[in-house]
Structure 1
Amino acid sequence: MVVGILLAAGAGQRFGGGKLLAEMANGQCIAEVACRALIPAVDRLIAVVRRGDEALAARLAACGAEICVAVDAQRGMGASLAAGVAQAPDGDGWLIALGDMPLVASTDSTRVADALRGGALIVVPVADGRRGHPVGFAPRFLPDLLALSGDAGARALLSKYSAEVVEIPVGDARRWCDVDTSDDLAVARALFKQS
């Protein structure tokens, strides 16, 4: 059972707050689009949200995600990731995705998840010479994932266990456009209309 962990607990300070509820071209919010694209790739999906973010939690639950409230989300992405993994410690692997990346293709996420199912230990999609998202981790890394904190997320694990990383070629690095500012949102909306 590969478990998707959708990280949607950021404060969105550079955006001015509330970025994950910003609407895409189809009327769904950023996090909803990311959630709906991740669901086909995983057997279970957990969306990690901040305490008090009931509107976002309701929209993600309506998409089919289980909700995990990260009570210490202010400690950074690592803490939110650890909270999500802690809700499914018996998973056969975890697919870590970002709620502010609405353009990641379901097919790309499925390829990463399938590599985990096939026995890969850490899986990273690669396009145009750079690594992207989502990133997959096998059960062996449960203690490392539960110990994460700070803003770096799981990046340190990719360095620490670099020999275990399997890179999966995918089509287009533009799909990793993350929405941090209103300009990013305009770019994401334009790319979304093209897809």
Structure 2
Amino acid sequence: MNAVGIVLAAGAGVRFGGPKALARADDGTPWVELACRALLDGGCQDVVVTLGAGADEAGPLVPGWATTAVVPDWADGASASLRAGLAAAAGTGADVAVVTLVDLPDLPAAAVRRMLGSDDGAAGANTLRRAVHRGRPGHPVVLGRQHWEAIARTVTGDRGAAGYLREHAATVVDCTDLGGGDDVDRR
């Protein structure tokens, strides 16, 4: 499968105390770089990062090999970020988009590989997969190109594609053993 990675990083990070696109690991590595690297090392050929709050400051933290998509309506929630990411992904030759969040700094590339390699009978552009960690739905998710327009039309607010994935019976892929499923909401 030809995959494009999408890092949703446009939010204001209210509970966190600022845009998470500006956050850094203890060693100084930007979270946005960690997310991009996990997607690339996990098998994505291209990576798109959505930026909104703090976009001017966060832009330089995005690796030069990744594409940045600025989300003017970022305050509308995760749905605006996802729509912008999918719109940018449409310009690639990808069959699927692997979507993750910037606030999963411990997401390993192995989780992305597992999501892309899951043998669920779905192929390419028709694929819908969702990682679960300790029984809880999470990221990354894999969205086949055939679903991108419908997802973009139906997502609202801060919900992202959760409802669409549930309604369309996305394949659940357990990634508990790989870690990286906990988002960081507090410094």
TM-score under structure 2 normalisation?
A: 0.86
Q: 1:178 is matched with which residue: 145, 164, 183?
A: 183
Q: 1:55 is matched with which residue: 39, 57, 65?
A: 57
Aligned 8 A contact 1:82 1:149 in 2: no
In the alignment, what sits opposite 2:144? 138
In the alignment, what sits opposite 2:44? 42
How does 1:55-94 map onto structure 2 within 5 Å?
55-62=57-64, 64-89=65-90, 90-94=93-97
Q: 2:172 is matched with which residue: 157, 160, 167?
A: 167
Which range is displaced more, 39-48 or 127-136? Answer: 127-136
Q: Distance in 2 between matches of 1:24 and 1:88?
A: 27
CA pair 167-26 structure 1, distance change in 2 beyond 3 A: same
TM-score under structure 1 normalisation?
A: 0.83
Query: Residues 148-188 of structure 1, C-alpha deviation per residue, up to 9 Å, x if partnerless?
Result: 231000111112112xx222232437511211112xxxxxx
Q: Does structure 1 residue 5 correspond to structure 2 residue 6?
A: yes
Structure 2 residue ranges without an equivalent (≥5): none
CA pair 18-146 structure 1, distance change in 2 beyond 3 A: closer
What is the DSSP-based 3-state SS (H/G/I as helix, E as strand, rest coil) of the residue aligned with 1:74?
helix
What is the DSSP-based 3-state SS (H/G/I as helix, E as strand, rest coil) of the residue aligned with 2:62?
helix
Question: 1:100 offset after TM fit, Å?
Answer: 0.8
CA pair 11-113 structure 1, distance change in 2 beyond 3 A: same
The structure richer in helix per residue is 1
In the alignment, what sits opposite 2:117? 114
Query: Residues 35-55 of structure 1, C-alpha deviation per residue, up to 9 Å, x if partnerless?
Result: 221212211100000165122
Question: 1:88 offset after TM fit, Å?
Answer: 2.0
Q: Distance in 1 between matches of 2:102 and 2:150?
A: 22
Structure 1 residue ranges without an equivalent (≥5): 183-195
Which range is displaced more, 123-132 or 81-90? Answer: 123-132
Alpha-carbon RMSD across the aligned residues, in angstroms, is 2.1
Q: How many corresponding residue pairs?
A: 179
